[in-house]
Amino acid sequence: MPLATVSDWRAAARRRLPRFAFDYLEGGAEDGRAMARNESAFGRIGFVPRSLVDVANVDMTATLYGQQLAMPVAVGPTGLNGLYRPQAEEKLARAAGRAGLPFVLSTASTSRIESVRAAACGPLWLQLYVQNDRRIAERWMAKARSCGFSVLLITVDTPVAGTRDHYRRNGFTLPLRWTPRLLLDIARHPRWCLSTGVHGMPQMVNLADCSEQRADITTQAATMAQEMNRSLTWTDLAWLRRHWNGPVVVKGIGCVDDARLARQYGADGIVLSNHGGRQLEDAPTAIELLAAVVDAVGGSMPVLMDGGIRRGSAVAKAVALGASGVLLGRAPLYGLAAGDEAGAEEVLAILRRELEVTLRLLGRPVLRELGRSDVTRI
């Protein structure tokens, strides 16, 4: 059966992946309310369509940080993608580039930055977690600069990992503990097992390189989870500036006051985000915050958002409420997990087609001209 929607690709990914891998992709914090609201909040925003408008041609293009994009979308940073496919980040970068979109490489990536650079055919951005030993982040930024990465996203909503009950239910640890339950789970997914058996379990190779550690997932996971810098403050944006000569974007903003502080301390943009509902349960959704944040800082910096983008119409709603762009997290991973690189490309193509149809039916053929008069609360 053809996979017509992002939800179809999600279902296909669930069939192909062992439960522990799918739950890592899909799971949220605690009872999953924040993650569920990320999607449902879009359903409370309606459109105000106009008729008898010339919609023969549709313009969905955008400009972000001097880069011309096919639509105001980036393939956002996600970690441990090698759980779903080997060479995951290379494939995501190629899919994004072919779609005319940036790809954001995570600190927790499983493909070496040099390999991603060689594979990419579009803009590359870097997502950064800061460990207690800041030399790791400094090496990471230096390597990214040398590889032509242009935009830095500093993630600020993860001083600790959120409470993720599915980890405990599935016995998910790094490295994996080979329990009878886990072995049975893997045995029921032979295609994933064969692929992983050939290529081996993923490693956070860039983190290992920059921390000068051996390629051992246990050590890498400890560096990520136990050595996150919990003393990071707004004044540390100045430290980042000394090591990054491009735009610095603060990712993980969850209130209007912090958006104002980001502007005050010289950020070049913000990403409204509750980390895909994986961190603080009952944190606000980005789409709910968007209009108020744009009113507070609009015009002074780009305001991006993520969380719950499963339809092209969601992109239109975000732009109408003032977003300069959106980041995709789970959606392209569903395509990658179920259909490899071609699946990731198809998910991006689905969102593009849906966005084009939305603009035509809305009677607003130029995406960047959308405004609040084009949406309503329902």
Active site (catalytic) residues:
275
Helices marked H in 147-204 — which ranges?
A: 165-170, 180-187, 190-199
Angle at 157 between CA 318 and CA 151, to 5 degrees: 65
Amino acid (1-letter code) at residue 276: G
Adjacent-strand bridge partners of 303: 270
Amino acid (1-letter code) at residue 170: N
Find, among 309, 214, 230, 225, the residue nearest to 271 by Cα: 309
**Residue 144 in contact with residue 240, Cβ under 8 Å?**
no
Q: Find the helix packing angle between 19-26 and 6-16, rounded to 10°.
A: 150
**Residue 346 in contact with residue 92, Cβ under 8 Å?**
no
Half-sphere exposure of residue 171, counting CA atoms within 13 Å on the CB side? 10
